[in-house]
Structure formats: C-alpha cells, structure tokens
Chains A and B, each alone.
Chain A
C-alpha cells in the first residue's frame, strides 16, 4: 500500500535538481576564474560565485532530504502525511529562501560567514520553514500506525539539524568565537546529524532493495549512528586546532576525528553485507548502484580523505589549502549527493509508474558523474598537495603558487565537464519519468 501524499516528494526533488544545475554552473564560473578566465568578475566575482555554490549545495541537499522524508515517513508510519497543503507551502517558502538568498549574494546582501552566508532576516524564514517541515513530519510519525527505527533516526536527524542551526545565529565580536560556534552548525551537521539522515535513508533503501529483515538492518543502523556521534561530536575539535583556542583541542580533536572514518567504514561494510545477504532481487538495479555507491564513496571521501588531513601534525600544513576542497567535494558527493540521487532513483518509478531504471541513460548518469567527480577530487588533491609544499614548506608567495598549480584546474574543469554530462543524463531521466500520479501509486505494491 502506497500513500498519495508521497507525491509531494517529487516537487522537492524537482527543486533539488534545479538547484543542483545552478550549483554546477557556479562551480564552473569559479573553475574558469582560477585559470584566469574571469570575464564575469564585474557581475559575479569569486566570492559571490563561492557563496552561491556552497549555499546551493546545502539547499539542494536539504530539499532532497525533505523530499526523502515526505516519501519515507508516510510509508514507514503507514499513514498519509498530515496537512499535505502545508507541505506545498513549505516547499514554496524553501524555494523563496533559496532564490532570494542567491539573488541577494549578487548585491552584497549576505553575512559573509562561510556556509552560513544567508542574511539574518532570511534566517527567520529558514526557521519558519524548518519548523513547519518538522511539524508535519513528526505529527505524521506520531499519529501513524507504527514507529520504526528508520523513521525515528531520520526524523531525529532532521530535528537536530534544525536545532543546530541556532548557534550560527548568535553574534560574536570575536572572530575566534564566531568561528567556534559556526562549526557547531557546519561540522555537527555534516559530520553528525546529517549522517543520521543519511543512515535513515540508507536503511530504508536497503530494506526495500535487499529484502533483508528490518530488525537486522535497524540494529546495525543504531551501531552506525552510535559510532558517528561517538567520534563526530568530539571530532569537532579538528576545526579548533588553529583558530585561537586552547591546545586541548589538538589532542581531543586529533583522537576523535581519527575515529570518524570508522562510522563511514561501518556504513560501507553494512551496506555491502546487507546487499550480499539479501535474497530479494529488486529490478531497480540503478537505485542499488546509487545506494551502495553512496555508502562506499562516503567512506572514501568523508572517511579516508578526511583522515588524510585531520591529524594536527598534518593539518598544521594543509589547513586553509585546496586539500580541504579535495576532501569536501568527494565527502559531500558520496555521503549526501549520492544518497539523495539514490532515493530519487528508487522512488521515481513508484511515483510515476514508468520503469525507466534499466536504461543506458540511467547507467551513463551513474558512471559519468562518479568518474567525473573522482577525477575532480584527484585534481583538487594534486593542486592541494603541491600548494601545501610550495606555500607552507618552501614559503613561496600565494599568487606565485597559484600560477604554478593552474594546470590542475584545467584538469578539474575537464573532469567537471564529465561530471556535468552525467548529471545532465540524470536530469533527462528525471524529466522522462514525467509527473507522479495516483494510479501509479495504487498499482505499486513493492
């Protein structure tokens, strides 16, 4: 039995795809600026492009997570979403925040704090939006026929993500304190509660795609999110090494952030093992690709590449270099981008009734985007390591170094093109699926 209100998810994902296209466009603007082609400087200087690029990332992922919640929660709670019209209001307010913020960035209307650039008046609209979203999700969950661990973990992730937005809204006179609490939002989101959201979606997908018993999957889900918080909360310390706070964070941050890959390793092993254990052969193979791909690449991007520069002895030299961009790109893609594309790949055939999963376009989307993004990661990595040695060890001037590493940005742009072609294929598939409809949902029994 499927629920008609699950259709709302589609519109959040459509917004997601639109924002992803824009995010990639602004990424290209930055890439070209780095090789000296900055013809747009007067209208879109680098800092504008950068703020748009990172904020769109956050908003398209959030919109993707929200879509996932609107799809998953009714199915898990076994009831339709309460007040579906309000969900559309929430969608409109989310789009409004995103679009207003992005336009504002072109006119110097921002807070200028990395990742949290949204100006204060819009922050309140974000708060309204998220409260409305949580209200609908939690109300549905707690009036539903059942409360599953998957739904609880997913909802808890979303609730904590909302609460953690608040420390970012406090004003400080000191840059050090500002930075300290900014990481409460950014780090505890991406290396904490967002992993709960990812874990919830992953576990839902594994239950559906592998047919392994829910009890087994959900037990491991607890272990994984347990490991995430055990390492991730004190792992926040790796952002505190060199911003002007006590040396104690070098020890605490060093030890606990070195443990952070364990959570991702557990997640990857869990997904692969459940797949191998599963007896069900679900026809939607491409959704399985994205699901397993997400679990594995999040371990590589967030786990391994994070570990590569998280120890204070290494980070002393790599902090504030392109090594961070290397880790950031693959981590966000593996852990969050891919899981959103995974749940969409799984849900779209059910919502629209069109079984387009076994097509060349779907496979090209997966392989091209992944190969492209891995190539981008390598380009950033080589540029970052070279920058670290030349600038930090050999004390060369910043711009001299930037000119030396320019060639890696040509590679970056080529790889980004491959990535963009992959995403184009994904979006073509998305459009081909057409609109969600009630007949499809009624016919769907999987």
Chain B
C-alpha cells in the first residue's frame, strides 16, 4: 500500500517533471522559427490598435481568436468579412450601433483611432489559428467561394 512518503514523492516529482516539460514547450512554441502570427507585421499602428482594444474592453462582449464574452460577434477576420469601411463606421458611430437588436457602446472614435483598430484586426486576421479561422462564424471569402 502506498505510504505518505511515496505519495509526497509522486506529487513533487510529477509537478517538477511536468513543469519542466511545460517550460520547454513554451520556449519551443514561442521561438522565432515557430511563429504563426507574422510578428514582423506588428506595426506601431497595430500596437496602438491593440491598446484601444484593451482600453475599451472589447473582449467584454466580442471574441477574438475565440476568446472573450460571446455577447457580440467574433472578430477574427472581421475586415475580410465586413470590409474596412463598415468596421470604421461602427467604431466612429456617435450613437450605439444596433443591428438585430443588440446595442454596442457608442465609441465615437476619431478616424485615426478607428484606423489603428482596423490595422489591429488586419494583423489578427492573418494569424494562423490551426484551422479555427476557417470554422469561426462565416468568412466572406470562403462563403463567396462556396457559393460559386
């Protein structure tokens, strides 16, 4: 029968081994050669866009890469789906954007800020998400291709 000492060794040993593997995998998957995000395309505008995304807690309603709050549409590839002008229009709207009944906060953004957010979405739209980008709510290009 297992003794308390053996049980403790199992706990400590298992934890140390899996933690070391976890660190190793982290280093490997974040190495330059494994980059799936086109990190070279993260421009100043993309970074500013990300800050606006965070400052307004957009993730509190929307999702991006499937992460967020499921109250408003997924925004991976939103530029491809809706076009730049539409997205800018939503962000710059002085009254709550409201199609199909659900209201969005009226951000009334400046054009410069809206453009930064668009750049952020463009960058996000080109990240290789291991296939998720093809599954997540209908994508303009694929829908058009499927219809043809």
Interface residues of A (CB under 8 A from B): 30, 33-34, 36, 38, 41, 45-48, 50-51, 105, 108, 110-114, 117, 149, 173-180, 215, 218-220, 222-223, 225-227, 229-230, 233-234, 236-237, 240-250, 252, 256, 316-317, 319-322, 324-325, 391-392, 395-400, 402-403
Contacts and interface: CB of A to CB of B under 8 A. Distances in A.
A45 B105 contact: yes
A415 to B, nearest CB: 18
B58 interface: yes
A223 B29 contact: no
Of all A-B residue pairs in the complex, the 4 with the closest CB atoms, nearest first, are A47-B60, A320-B66, A242-B132, A226-B11
Given A175-B124, A243-B67, A320-B74, 12 more contacts: A47-B105, A48-B60, A219-B3, A219-B7, A226-B14, A229-B14, A230-B14, A246-B28, A247-B130, A316-B132, A320-B66, A399-B99
Contacts of B120: 175
Contact of A46 (B28, B61, B67, B100): B61
A220 B136 contact: no
A229 B15 contact: yes
B127 A244 contact: yes
A244 B138 CA distance: 19
Contacts of A41: 96, 103
Contacts of B58: 47, 112
A91 B124 CA distance: 41
Contact of A319 (B21, B28, B34, B66): B66
Interface string B77-103: 000000000000000000010011111
Given A241-B130, A392-B137, A403 B60 contact: no
A62 B129 CA distance: 34
Given A112-B53, A229-B15, A320-B136, A46 B69 contact: yes
B139 to A, nearest CB: 9
B71 A46 contact: yes
